Structure 1
Amino acid sequence: MPESALDWADQLSRLLDRAPSAEALAAQDDAALIDLIAATERAKGRLAAAQARAEAAFWDAQIGEQQRQGVPRGQRGRGIADQVALARRITPKQASDEVALHRVLLGSLPRTSGLLEAGEISEYAARRVAENVLVLEEEDRTRVDIDLADQLPSVTARRAGDLARARAQELDADAAVRRHQRAVADRRVSLQPAVDGMSILRATLPVKDGVAVLKVLTEAARSAKTAGDPRTKGQIMADTLTASACGLESPDDIPVE
């Protein structure tokens, strides 16, 4: 009888329980440590491929179940990303994006996914390739996959994405426009906690918008420093951003709740 997914997950957990401790690693020579680093890097790729296959299988199973339940075609897929997000401890938006990329990777890029399954490329490299072929037709995705397969194991993840983007543009000149439109539609602002009572505010904007915002903040800092403001340039820019977004004269005017 074939092993279940739970059996495999249990075996994986048991294997990781046997990972060497810091003390055991300290007793190893440098060559052995480098070998372990390389082996774990390959394992990360293989695990990422296994996770991608599990997500794709879960998606297909859920879509099939929704179809059997009579869910209208336009509503199928709802709730799937939420379950993946819970399992992966990420946001539903991130989960939705990841599942979409994994479906492209497994369905349209067999050579790239094969390299990931073999641990010859990283999850990030595979993702960068998939991101850059999303806007292509199936035939062109296949062409990119074939053309890049031999190069991917020897380049960085960023370079893999650059190669995929360049080849995609050669195959479909309109792809760059569609990719830009897709990126603009994904503009957003997010907040994440940082240490010591701080936070990181992150904005993903079109280039012209980001440059314009930075220019305004930089000019505000330059003017303030010229007038003798004792704050650093970075502090002035941060305070100006906060005050402007909140419609206040100073961040100090923000009420404490």
Structure 2
Amino acid sequence: MDSRAAVATAEALSVSFAELASALRDGTGSGCSGEADPMRRVADGFLDGLAEISRLDAKSAALKAWLAAVYADTAGALAGPATSPEDNTGQEMAVVAEVACALTVSERAAGGLLAEAHALTTALPLTLSALQAGTISWQHARIMVDETLNLDRPAAAALEAHFLDPHAVNPARGFAGGLIPGRFRHKARTWRERHHPVSIEKRHTRSAADRRVEYAPDRDGMAWLSAYLPADQAAGIWNRATSAARALQGPAEDRNLSQLRADTVATWLLGGTGDQADTDGGRVDAGVPSPRAQVLITVPVLSLLGVTDEPAMLDGYGPIPPSMARRLVADGAESFHRVLIDPRDGAPLEIGRTSYRLTKAQRQWLRLRDGKCPFPGCSNHSLDNEADHILAWAHGGTTGISNLGQPCHKHHRLRHTSGWTPKAATLNEPPGWTSPTGRHYQSEHPDWEPPHWPLQ
């Protein structure tokens, strides 16, 4: 497929969507004839429309993957041969960042798309063809990429053929597109484990090196904490937490099993006594200890005093209930910094120096201004980031807040190993970025709001 064919395909997809929408509005869908009941004809037409949209989504995903793969190849050719491993890494990071900004997705998502697109266009021809034909979904294609990861070419081709080639030796019963993605993954993984050329012992040893804990903020003062562990450890933790939670159940206990399990694990990890005291209204106010870590928290003074219910801001997370903030201030946070905010708009007041080295107050101010790494789409928490002069000190740049950013290590490295450059910041807004292609991308701006005053 060349660029003209890609444009033609995109136009055909657009026409297909438009024609389908028009047919459904007019009641002339493929299932809208031959039935005596008009309401049944309409219902069948919409159901057929859903199925057709699914096929069009698959075809669109195939085109998107092809475009991503060809862009990556073209960008690599334009950049020329890398002169060092660091230069090669910088080129790859620049491509990922460009795709992420163009699609308004995270770099993790963009990197995943590029990796999946590369696998589909270079090693999985049957999968790409099925996706282009609309007979499997994008979820099915991603599962095929995932389950053939780290397989050599013959093993990957055998797995793909088993599910997508009806003429293969001992093909799978039924077509992959007829299975919901979860069931297809189960079947693909089972076949992979049985036919993998490397023993599961060796693969487990390698995979265990990737064990990690991940943290993702959620709504309403909550967050997800997940761990990628060896299966026996994960199962053991789950079973032990479940047993401990069940032991706490009784007539006087109003928490359900899920709540008890969560409180038990939180108590273990935070070094509590394990007594699992009662909760108030579903909130864990006792029993589970407060975090003992460096905490930067901005809380309106009236909310801290309990006069208003305005949320506080927890660095690296976002809005939290004032009761949580009061608890952190009272007994949880070993390092609590009160922050002066402008009563007109709620933005913190600047603290500045003219020396090269940043003061502790300036670093805290950058954390407050940006909240995270200022690169578009990055969500790396500000506590892990590195202060950086936008205009280099050696080139006349000052150490004022308006000339400072706090990119994470990855994007600090990107700035110095590729054509990505940060642009001007302000006292209250983080710097934007310009890509090697000349496109300008804005950083995410924190939404400062003026403090609430209690009703008289």
Do the structures match in fold with TM over 0.5? yes
AA at the equivalent of 2:49:
L
CA offsets, 1:33-59, max 9 Å, x none? 111011100011111111111111122
* 1:246 lines up with 2:270 in the alignment: yes
AA at the equivalent of 1:189:
E
- In structure 2, the partner of 1:51 is 64
Q: Calculate the TM-score normalised by the size of structure 2.
A: 0.47
SS of 1:173's equivalent? coil
- Would you say the 8 A contact 1:133–1:165 is kept in 2? no
SS of 1:174's equivalent? coil
1:235 deviates by: 1.9
Q: Calculate the TM-score normalised by the size of structure 1.
A: 0.78
Aligned counterparts, 1:44-123, within 5 A: 44-68=57-81, 70=83, 72=85, 75=89, 76-123=91-138
Q: Could you say if the C-alpha distance between residues 85 and 241 of structure 1 is closer, same or farther in structure 2, counting changes exceeding 3 Å?
A: farther
- Name the CA distance, whole Å, in 1 between partners of 2:71 and 2:250: 60
Percent identity for Structure 1 against Structure 2:
22
- Name the CA distance, whole Å, in 2 between partners of 1:158 and 1:4: 33
SS of 2:254's equivalent? coil
- Name the CA distance, whole Å, in 2 between partners of 1:88 and 1:204: 29
CA RMSD, Structure 1 to Structure 2 (Å) = 3.6
Aligned counterparts, 1:208-227, within 5 A: 208-226=232-250
Greater mean deviation of Cα atoms: 100-109 or 149-158: 149-158
Gaps of 5+ in 1: none
Q: Could you say if the C-alpha distance between residues 159 and 91 of structure 1 is closer, same or farther in structure 2, counting changes exceeding 3 Å?
A: same
SS of 1:189's equivalent? strand
- Would you say the 8 A contact 2:17–2:53 is kept in 1? no
AA at the equivalent of 1:110:
P
Q: Could you say if the C-alpha distance between residues 240 and 25 of structure 1 is closer, same or farther in structure 2, counting changes exceeding 3 Å?
A: farther
**Which of 188, 211, 214 in structure 2 is aligned with 1:189?**
214
- Name the CA distance, whole Å, in 2 between partners of 1:228 and 1:62: 65
Gaps of 5+ in 2: 28-38, 167-174, 277-283, 291-323, 329-456
Aligned counterparts, 1:114-193, within 5 A: 114-149=129-164, 150=166, 151-174=175-198, 176=200, 180=204, 183-184=207-208, 185=210, 187-193=212-218
- In structure 2, the partner of 1:40 is 53
1:61 deviates by: 2.1
- Name the CA distance, whole Å, in 2 between partners of 1:25 and 1:200: 46
CA offsets, 1:37-84, max 9 Å, x none? 111000111111111111111221233233346454752422322333
**More helix by proportion, 1 or 2?**
1
Q: Could you say if the C-alpha distance between residues 208 and 50 of structure 1 is closer, same or farther in structure 2, counting changes exceeding 3 Å?
A: same
- Would you say the 8 A contact 1:25–1:33 is kept in 2? no
Q: Which has the larger radius of gyration?
A: 2
AA at the equivalent of 2:189:
R
- Name the CA distance, whole Å, in 2 between partners of 1:25 and 1:242: 56
- In structure 2, the partner of 1:233 is 257
| Larger RCO (alpha carbons 8 Å, 6+ apart) | 1
SS of 2:227's equivalent? strand
